[in-house]
Amino acid sequence: MDWTPIWLSIKLSFVTTIILLAMGIPLGYWLSKPGAFYKDILEALLTLPLVLPPSVLGFYLLMAFSPNQAFGAWLQDTLNISLVFSFEGLVVASVIYSLPFMLNPVRAAFSNIQRSMVEASYTMGKTAAQTFFRVLLPNVKYAILSASAITFAHTMGEFGVVLFIGGNISGVTQIGSIALYDSVERMQYDVANRYAAVLLGFSFVTVLSVFLVNKRLVRGIIG
Amino acid sequence: MIEVSITKAMKRYDGGDSLAIRAEFASGTTTLVTGPSGAGKTTLLRLIAGLTNPDHGHIRAFGQLWTDVARRVNVRPQRRSVGFVFQDFALFPHLTVMQHLQFGTDDQAYIEQLLAMTGLGGFVRHRPLKLSGGQRQRLGIARALSTKPRLLLMDEPFSALDPVTKLGLQRSLKHLFDELGMTCILVSHQEIDGKLLASRQLEIN
């Protein structure tokens, strides 16, 4: 069994999770504040990948990033970036596809914080930034950890979107789930079995870690 | 001196639709604000703290203009030197009793004084969920006092306390208010709650 697809899956999941952490925390905080109707529309758009068939998203991204289309041509001509059939393209697609898995729990956690806690901090002289880092963030940290684990696992298991954008290039875009599919296509069931077992193990460890984090959350609040 | 002259549209349980208040609170005194549910007692405290904006009028405190709708003056809550005891306590779940007080001050001697006054000395490592309702309420009071505010706003601060604890705490608070020259506005359903502390009563209908 070639371990390269598994390492590529881990690398893709890691990079995607880091990017989504950087995006999800400020975006989740912003969306948690009451606001205009356009916030609802934006939130619906950002949650769309949850219900959209991966092939639909993959197809649209392939069309958008293709050098034969306006946006893809602009990326190639202006920035010399080609996102189709590249690892960078997989990252962009994964970020879009996994965004709701990071965003929704983080936004919900921020929404659940009592407004009066923030007000108490303000009346104690703390600025909005100090309140964010000293009151809000510590109270959503387990939701962030949990969302990160789920995002990581979800990216590990991606198939449709990455197949559309990245294809099946060994060492470049062939991640674990695609290597598994490829092995089945070649009727190498013993290799497919090993890929499946590794991906299953990763998923189980992730789900277990989420449970442990949630347990720690309950103990942490009470302790 | 705190001078309040404001109106604020609000949905009231009695069908009224606005709160209109003109009142003065002398420095260094404690005023008990009473009135039926929905009369606007909490809203009054929030307006003074800068947590809610009035529709019209002004608030002047300690010689400084805090709010003036016409002149678009609105000093941020952080700069008003108010302590606020919230009805729902609004404690920080991730902080221990000690950390709550350290959130407001570095003065360890003052923290010890607050702990002794509120009877929380034996619970410094406890987080709010491990405290009883009465202990949480006392922590809310201690935390509001930790910044040594010039004005303390208390919203139903004794509702979860038994009569003996309440009386002891009120005596300690009176002593502290006198020591620090603190002005206090205390909202309560029950007049008895303010008898010991308040020198004046304001009723909102």
Q: What is the mean pLDDT of residues A20-42?
A: 90
Q: Is the pLDDT of residue A161 over 80?
A: yes
Q: How confident is the model at residue A210 (pLDDT cuts 50, 70, 90)?
A: confident
Contact A119 B84 (CB under 8 A): yes
- Sign for the CA dihedral angle at A189, A191, A197, A200 comes to negative
CA–CA separation, B181 and B150 (whole Å) = 8
Q: Which of B145, B6, B136 is nearest to B84 (CA)?
A: B145
Residue B114 has what pLDDT? Answer: 94
- H or E segment and range at residue A184: helix A176-185
Higher pLDDT, B175 or A98: A98
Q: Which of A128, A143, A67 is nearest to B94 (CA)?
A: A143
Q: What digits encode the pLDDT tens for the residues B43-96?
A: 999 999 999 999 999 999 999 999 999 999 999 999 999 999 999 999 999 999
Higher pLDDT, B69 or A222: B69
Burial of B6 (0-12, 13-18, 19+ CB in 10 A): buried
Phi and psi for A46 in degrees, rounded to 5? -70, -25
**How many Cβ atoms sit within 10 Å of the Cβ of residue A118?**
18
Q: How confident is the model at residue A19 (pLDDT cuts 50, 70, 90)?
A: very high
Q: How confident is the model at residue B13 (pLDDT cuts 50, 70, 90)?
A: low
Q: Cα torsion for A139, A143, A148, A154, to the nearest 10°?
A: -170
Higher pLDDT, A30 or A206: A30
Q: How confident is the model at residue A81 (pLDDT cuts 50, 70, 90)?
A: confident
Contact A123 B103 (CB under 8 A): no
What's the whole-number average pLDDT of chain A?
Answer: 90
Q: How confident is the model at residue A219 (pLDDT cuts 50, 70, 90)?
A: low
Q: Is the pLDDT of residue A36 over 80?
A: no
Q: Is the pLDDT of residue A37 over 90?
A: no
Residue B90 has what pLDDT? Answer: 95
Residue B58 has what pLDDT? Answer: 93
**How many Cβ atoms sit within 10 Å of the Cβ of residue A10?**
17
Phi and psi for B83 in degrees, rounded to 5? -105, 140
Residue B103 has what pLDDT? Answer: 97
Would you list the DSSP string of B105-126?
---HHHHHHHHHHHT-GGGTT-
**How many Cβ atoms sit within 10 Å of the Cβ of residue B139?**
26
Greatest Cα pair distance, chain B, in angstroms, is 50
Q: What is the mean pLDDT of residues B176-181?
A: 86
Residue A183 has what pLDDT? Answer: 94
Residues of B in contact with A139 (CB under 8 A): 92-94
Could you tell me if the ipTM is greater than 0.85?
yes
Q: What is the mean pLDDT of residues B162-183?
A: 86
Best mutation target, B42, B47, B92, to test chain A (most A CBs within 10 A)? B92
- Sign for the CA dihedral angle at A52, A54, A57, A63 comes to negative
Collect all residues from A whose CB is shorter than 8 A from any CB in B: 114, 116-117, 119-127, 134-135, 138-139, 220-223
Higher pLDDT, B83 or A34: B83
CA–CA separation, A143 and B3 (whole Å) = 44
Q: What is the mean pLDDT of residues A190-204?
A: 93
Q: Is the pLDDT of residue A223 over 60?
A: no
Contact B104 A138 (CB under 8 A): no
Q: Which of A101, A106, A105 is nearest to A25 (CA)?
A: A106
Give yes or no for B90 touching A (CB within 8 A).
yes
Residues of A in contact with B51 (CB under 8 A): 119, 122-123
Of B77, B79, B94, the CB nearest to A139: B94
Best mutation target, B43, B94, B124, to test chain A (most A CBs within 10 A)? B94
Q: What is the mean pLDDT of residues A146-164?
A: 91
CA–CA separation, B27 and B183 (whole Å) = 5
Best mutation target, A114, A117, A124, to test chain B (most B CBs within 10 A)? A124
Dihedral class, residue A171 (left if φ above 0, else alpha if ψ from -120 to 50, else beta):
left
CA–CA separation, B187 and B159 (whole Å) = 11
Q: What is the mean pLDDT of residues B16-32?
A: 88
CA–CA separation, B4 and B66 (whole Å) = 10
Q: How confident is the model at residue A217 (pLDDT cuts 50, 70, 90)?
A: low
Q: Is the pLDDT of residue A218 over 70?
A: no
Q: Is the pLDDT of residue B152 over 60?
A: yes
Residue B12 has what pLDDT? Answer: 57
Is residue A148 a contact partner of residue A98, using CB atoms and an 8 Å limit? no
Contact A221 B78 (CB under 8 A): no
Q: Is the pLDDT of residue B14 over 80?
A: no
Residues of A in contact with B80 (CB under 8 A): 123
Q: What digits encode the pLDDT tens for the residues A38-60?
A: 888 998 999 999 899 999 999 99
Q: Which two tokens stand for residue A45?
A: 């758009």
